[in-house]
Structure 1
Amino acid sequence: MTPTGYVPEIEKALLGALLDGGDHRATLARLTPEHFVEPAHAEIYRLASAAQEQYGTTRMPTVFQMASPAFLQGFADQMGEPLGQYLAAMVTDTPFDARNIKGSVKAVISQWARLGLKAEAEALAAAASDPASNPAELARAVVSRADEIASHLRAGHRTNTRQTFAEAAQAALTASIEAKRNQRLTGVTTGLLDLDRATGGLQRRDLILLGARPSMGKTTLGTSIARFAAASGVGVGVFSLEMDNAKLTARMLSDLAHQSGHRVPYQDFIKGDMTDDQEEAAAHAMERYVSLPITLDEATGLTIAEIRNRTEIMVEDAQDSGAPLGLLILDHLGKVKPSARYAGNRNNEIGEITEGLKSIAREFDLAVLLLSQLSRQVESRDDKRPQLSDLRDSGNIEQDADAVLFLHRAAYYLERAEPADPDERIEWRSKMEACRNLGELAIAKQRNGPCVTIDLHIDMACSAVRNAARGL
């Protein structure tokens, strides 16, 4: 019996494209017969897969010849017309050619998932009506099935995970040659030469964590990296879970004005205290950099599932715009909403989030930069430089992150320790001037490179982060 809400044309469109011929190996690798709601369509798809495997084609005549006599007879009895006529009609009615099959693959999986969830909801309603049912078992079963269905929805966006040694070796050699051409840069540039040299750039498919205490400059560094990466032609997506888009953009414009040699403090920008010259500088920066491929999303309280869905939209939009997404920035970890699965166990909640972000990095071939606040235990030490143990619920973060960076500014602590004694204040001012724009970025963990500390020039007022001793 055909379920309510089933649209047969969705499956027919995909099958028609397959039967029209072409190279459909990528499609056949993503779909299985179970994704088709109509059993007859599932069998046709299975026949197409077999034809591709045996004869290297999915064209209609070959697929038709693969059908058994029993299926031919059963199909005619069930569908009311011969299989050959049905297949020919699907090819004729296909509204697009085989080159545009990607959207149809997504539609088939989406319909299967939607109707699968509908069936699970109906089964849950029936089971929950029984007074003898165990709600805990029902909840576990629902979560398990929902996760299974969700995994199919995500699978369509995953890159190919299987390669021969020859393919992998060629890819590695090509990447090395390309990195040599790009001055050892294999990932997304950060705009910071010393950091790029130490890491090769932010690597795609990696989860990179940037940790620091509040007001240390995490967001400033994140927005600086975003605009440098975008200026190199890489599409950048930013989930600003704490700050609205207008304020985040104001930081970037302040940074861009600084890049052009003008000082437009961020606070003056958002308070409306800019001079006429500063307004002109900010407007010029906006005109010059308005085409940067950066997408901002200020939604709050997002779950990993919601982040994944919004990332998918960003990826598709960036592809259409001509600047494919290569970097995703989330500000910050503490604002990502965990699911109810591990409610009360913060360590497992964090693990669920970091594992989900690592999965997004791999599925969409992105470098994911995750900003995170450090625990207060940093403040209790004489040396306040962060350590891996300062990560909140650090076990899972350390495990899932491919690289961990810590930002530290001595001026942050020094400016909060102004002495009352006038004589001591003279020495204090001297120390403040010496370290006001100095920052340290420690690479505390890196799977494929050294763990070193990089000196930075940071102008917090203008949201600008530059290479040390250069300021440019």
Structure 2
Amino acid sequence: MTAHQSGSVHDGYHLFRHSRPVGDLATVHKLDAARGAAVGVLPYAVPAEQAVLGALMVRNALYDELGGMLRPEHFYVPLHAAAFAALEHLINVRGVEANPISIEGQLRETTFGKQGGLLPHLKSMFENAGFAGDIKSVAEVIQTTYLQRQLMGLGDGVKREAEKAPTFEAVGAIIASVGDELFRLSGTGTANTERTARESLREMLDQAERAMQAGGLTGVSTGFMDVDKLLGGLQRSDFVVLGARPSMGKTSLLLNIAHHAAKRMMDGEQDGAAVGVFSLEMSRVQLMQRMVAGAANLNSQQIMNGQLSNKNFESMTQVMGGMAELPLIIDDAAGLTIQQIHSRARQMKRKHNIGLLIVDYLQLIRSPTLRGEQNRTQEVTEISQGLKQIARELDVPVLVASQLSRNLESRENKRPLLNDLRESGAIEQDADVVAFLYREDFYLARQLGAGTEEVTGNDQERRKVMELKERLEKAKGITELIIAKNRKGPVDTVRLLFRAETTTFQSFAGGAHV
């Protein structure tokens, strides 16, 4: 087994502790001149360091999978520490590809760059990075040896200080210092999330000031006044679920919100946001057709079928010109796992500073760890928790569409309830806001069925059909957005108006959405 292969964490530890480094070990020593101790005195895992660096140079996207668990000081070889720091700078600060040439350029004026042999060593790691395993398990090997070195150094330091400690107070100070250091080491690879009361109050005050300036909005505006009034906008770090049966308009509402938030951002308004969209069902072209149709007040089917008049085509191209600069990023890869969404969302946050993430829809997300119908509830639990984690980690609202159980179709009152969420337990528990779409006209039209233009049957049946038609005419387009759960405020129902020809929603009062 070569240095770039890996198994479990423990297998990886033994493998990378004892396998040979990539390339010429003499080069490693030469480039490691800054280290005083000889290789072998302290625990180390040079092949693991090379495997991780090589894999990251081949696929920069793997950096996001690490989730901040590695820092430059975790690497034993100073060159590798410098290379990792350069890689982070290239990806996070400059936003360019990190490869052997760009890393060598970043380090050219350092001691490593001036010694010679840097680029061949980087290329050797790159070319030998046939790494297809779990990069986190190999990163844990690097973490483990780092912690071992830190503990060994701490032990030696404690021994020296204890021998010189003349008083009880001096020994107590050593013990306190050791406790602080052990606590620091226990947090290796995790973000510092603790805040003082002063810091927390400052954040709260900033939020209150933003709300006053934005007329009560503390989050991202949805574009619907009554919804924003009820929720205060879509709040940072919130996991928001929009549930409905098929054909109720889930995707349309998500796109309306995405367009509005991105346009507000482009116009410089603080309640707008750059928007990332994961579309697991529809292609990005289909999404843009819907969005353009709504913005240009055109029939989306006519756009798709090429049935536009010259005048409408001109209107469409004008709208497209204005939409081209929207801070809207669409990823339409199908069959993504929750881990892949997490990784790609981190990239969106880093590259585009998204302030809102939309996923359409939850039941199409896969979990690589669980399979089979009997594990579906566990799978949805993992996915739901993963979406909440993304919201917390990126500090953005995550708005996710969710299918509802078909059981509600058997009820006379088909307005959704919380227990209609498919595999509802985990979703309901994790979500900060749960909203449902309900359109009575959909069910009335289905009840009428096809071919009702010619009313047949007895007088009672004809009257029933006529009543249904009257109800349908009155209910046409009227949509209930039912806020069934709101962790930070009241629950209520907001009315919207759905325009089927443009697949857009408007405020029920008649105001345009955007």
- TM-score (ref. length: structure 2): 0.63
Bigger mean CA deviation after superposition, 309-318 or 161-170: 309-318
Cα pair 1:33 1:42 within 8 Å, conserved? no
How far apart in 2 are the matches of 1:41 and 1:272? 59
Find the counterpart in structure 2 of residue 281 from structure 1: 315
Cα pair 1:224 1:463 within 8 Å, conserved? no
Can you give the 5+ residue segments of structure 2 that lack an aligned partner in the other structure? 1-17, 36-67, 83-106, 114-128, 142-186, 266-272, 457-461
**2:408 counterpart SS class:** helix
Cα pair 1:2 1:38 within 8 Å, conserved? no
How far apart in 1 are the matches of 2:471 and 2:239? 36
Find the counterpart in structure 2 of residue 270 from structure 1: 304
Letter in 2 for 1:445: K
Instruction: Name which of 62, 71, 74 aligns with 1:36.
Output: 74
Tell me: CA distance 1:300–1:42, structure 2 relative to 1, closer, same or farther (3 Å): closer
How far apart in 2 are the matches of 1:243 and 1:377? 25
Letter in 1 for 2:356: L
Residue 335 of structure 1 pairs with residue 387 of structure 2 = no
How far apart in 2 are the matches of 1:467 and 1:350? 33
Find the counterpart in structure 2 of residue 364 from structure 1: 394
Tell me: CA distance 1:440–1:115, structure 2 relative to 1, closer, same or farther (3 Å): closer
Q: Deviations over 1:262-313 (max 9, x none)?
A: xx11111112222222212211111122211111111011001111121122
What's the offset of the Cα at 1:36?
A: 2.2
Instruction: Name which of 406, 410, 419 aligns with 1:376.
Output: 406
Cα pair 2:79 2:112 within 8 Å, conserved? no
Residue 428 of structure 1 pairs with residue 449 of structure 2 = no
Find the counterpart in structure 2 of residue 188 from structure 1: 220
How far apart in 1 are the matches of 2:336 and 2:70? 31
Instruction: Name which of 257, 274, 285 aligns with 1:246.
Output: 285
Find the counterpart in structure 2 of residue 415 from structure 1: 445
How far apart in 2 are the matches of 1:191 and 1:115? 41
Find the counterpart in structure 2 of residue 199 from structure 1: 231
Instruction: Name which of 124, 138, 148 aligns with 1:117.
Output: 138
Cα pair 1:342 1:348 within 8 Å, conserved? no
Find the counterpart in structure 2 of residue 396 from structure 1: 426
What's the offset of the Cα at 1:341?
A: 3.6
How far apart in 2 are the matches of 1:372 and 1:414? 23
**1:169 counterpart SS class:** helix
Larger radius of gyration: 2
Letter in 2 for 1:189: S
Tell me: CA distance 1:434–1:277, structure 2 relative to 1, closer, same or farther (3 Å): farther
What's the offset of the Cα at 1:226?
A: 0.4
Tell me: CA distance 1:286–1:5, structure 2 relative to 1, closer, same or farther (3 Å): farther
Cα pair 1:304 1:357 within 8 Å, conserved? yes
Letter in 1 for 2:363: G
Tell me: CA distance 1:94–1:282, structure 2 relative to 1, closer, same or farther (3 Å): farther
The alignment of Structure 1 onto Structure 2 pairs a total of residues equal to: 354
How far apart in 1 are the matches of 2:290 and 2:136? 45
- TM-score (ref. length: structure 1): 0.68
How far apart in 1 are the matches of 2:386 and 2:498? 32
What's the offset of the Cα at 1:34?
A: 9.5
How far apart in 1 are the matches of 2:237 and 2:136? 32
Q: Deviations over 1:149-188 (max 9, x none)?
A: xx988x5xx6x52110011011101101110110111111
Cα pair 2:70 2:139 within 8 Å, conserved? no
How far apart in 1 are the matches of 2:362 and 2:136? 34
Tell me: CA distance 1:283–1:152, structure 2 relative to 1, closer, same or farther (3 Å): farther
Tell me: CA distance 1:340–1:184, structure 2 relative to 1, closer, same or farther (3 Å): same
How far apart in 2 are the matches of 1:366 and 1:248? 22
Cα pair 1:439 1:458 within 8 Å, conserved? yes
**1:457 counterpart SS class:** strand
What's the offset of the Cα at 1:351?
A: 0.5
**2:447 counterpart SS class:** coil
Tell me: CA distance 1:166–1:384, structure 2 relative to 1, closer, same or farther (3 Å): same
What's the offset of the Cα at 1:316?
A: 2.2
**2:258 counterpart SS class:** helix
Superposed counterparts of 1:218-257, under 5 Å: 218-233=250-265, 234-257=273-296
- Identical pairs, percent: 36
Find the counterpart in structure 2 of residue 346 from structure 1: 376
Bigger mean CA deviation after superposition, 397-406 or 267-276: 267-276
How far apart in 1 are the matches of 2:135 and 2:446? 56
How far apart in 2 are the matches of 1:391 and 1:115? 34
What's the offset of the Cα at 1:116?
A: 4.6
How far apart in 1 are the matches of 2:254 and 2:229? 18
Find the counterpart in structure 1 of residue 240 from structure 2: 208
Can you give the 5+ residue segments of structure 1 that lack an aligned partner in the other structure? 16-29, 45-88, 96-109, 121-150, 259-263, 319-323
Q: Deviations over 1:180-230 (max 9, x none)?
A: 110111111100110001001111111100000000000000000000110
Superposed counterparts of 1:57-72, under 5 Å: none
Letter in 1 for 2:76: E
Tell me: CA distance 1:172–1:342, structure 2 relative to 1, closer, same or farther (3 Å): farther
Cα pair 1:257 1:285 within 8 Å, conserved? yes
Q: Deviations over 1:304-343 (max 9, x none)?
A: 111112112212221xxxxx20111110011101123464
